[in-house]
Amino acid sequence: MRSVPCDGGMITEQSGGGAGPDEVRLRSVPSVGSALPCRNGDADLWFAEAPAELEEAKSRCGGCPLRQACLDGALERAEPWGVWGGEIFDHGRVIPRKRPRGRPRKADLERDRALALAASR
């Protein structure tokens, strides 16, 4: 089962939305479109369930020339999930990391509490 549309989720004239700003930017710089990390390899990596795979997808966004535009667009659209602009989205919000399935270990809970406390200062 694919987790993304076969067209990569692009809005086209046939789908009724017209080209968005990111797609227009890709067309204006043709050499960039094929070099984008999200356009090469396994598209499922950007919508994986495993936290390690999502971290891999985030790391691939590092040098992307459209990273900020991708992130801005995802925030504007409140993307329900996946990696967009080097950030993990869950229910339309950016989250720092995704927890694996199941009950978290006590060490993970303690680390998360310490990080939350440090971030609130």
Q: How many CA atoms lie within 13 A of 120 on its CB side?
A: 6
6 labelled as ligand-binding?
A: no
Q: How far apart are CA 17 and CA 5, in angstroms?
A: 15
Measured CA to CA, the distance from residue 8 to residue 10 in angstroms comes to: 6
Count CB atoms within 10 A of the CB of residue 26.
19
Q: At what angle do helices 21-28 and 67-77 cross, to 10 degrees?
A: 160
- Confirm or deny that 70 is annotated as ligand binding: yes
- From CA 95, how far away is CA 10, in angstroms rounded? 24
Binding-site sequence positions: 38, 61, 64, 70
Binding-site sequence positions for [4Fe-4S] cluster: 38, 61, 64, 70
